[in-house]
Amino acid sequence: MQYARLTKEQLEELHQEFINFLATQSITADEWQEIKTNKPHVAEEEIDVFSDLVWENVLTKANYLEHISPNQMHLFELREDKMTLIAVKINKEGIDITSKEGYQWLQQNLGDDTVVFMSASKEYSEKPNADKFTLIQQGAVITKGDLYNWFSRFVDIKG
């Protein structure tokens, strides 16, 4: 498996897509029940293949990732050939930008000496989607890029 198996909740959400996937494998509903009962390892393999297909599709379509912790924000734009990063670090005790109050403080104090902006870019490895997935495993989430685009006004983006 290249990525991660979808959770039970994710599989339930993608129930119809999974049925269509099984149909492309020429597996009927009755055959699927039999596989689950008598060959659970085969069922798990099918779920793994489906999970990889879903992840591959999602990662290919993703344009932005965000990873926000109490004193740092990493905003990624996923370009075709590389990813660019806007990083914001708060060097002030007691500010938690994951809270409403902390984020409001950040918005009102962008020019403060305790707010540090950085940018970088990095070319993908031979497997761009694996690079993106690694960031997701580390806590990043796929977004529409609103924060990236907002903060890009304050940073000279490298690359």
Query: pLDDT digit string (tens) for 41-59?
Result: 999 999 999 999 999 999 9
Q: Are residues 117 and 101 in the same domain?
A: yes
Q: Is residue 98 part of a domain?
A: yes
Provide, for the chain, the percentages of residues in helix, strand and coil under a 3-state DSSP scheme, each rounded to the nearest 5. 50, 20, 30
> Would residue 28 count as lying in a domain?
yes
Do residues 57 and 70 share a domain?
Answer: no
Q: Is 106 among the domain residues?
A: yes
pLDDT at 159 > cutoff 70: no
Q: How many domains does the chain have?
A: 2
Which distant-in-sequence residues (6+ apart) come within 8 Å of 28 by Cβ? Answer: 22
Rounded to whole angstroms, the Cα distance separating 6 from 70 reads: 28
Q: Give yes or no for residue 63 having a pLDDT over 80.
A: yes
pLDDT of residue 157: 74
Query: Do both 80 and 48 map to the same domain?
Result: no
Range of the domain at 101: 64-154
Out of 23, 40, 61, a domain closes at 61
pTM comes to 0.86
Do 69 and 122 sit in the same domain of this protein?
yes
Does the residue 1 lie in any domain?
A: no
Domain termination residue (choose one: 61, 79, 105): 61
Residues 57 and 121 in one domain: no
- Which among 122, 126, 124, 135 has a CA at the least distance from the CA of 3? 135
Q: For residues 45 and 68, state if they share a domain.
A: no
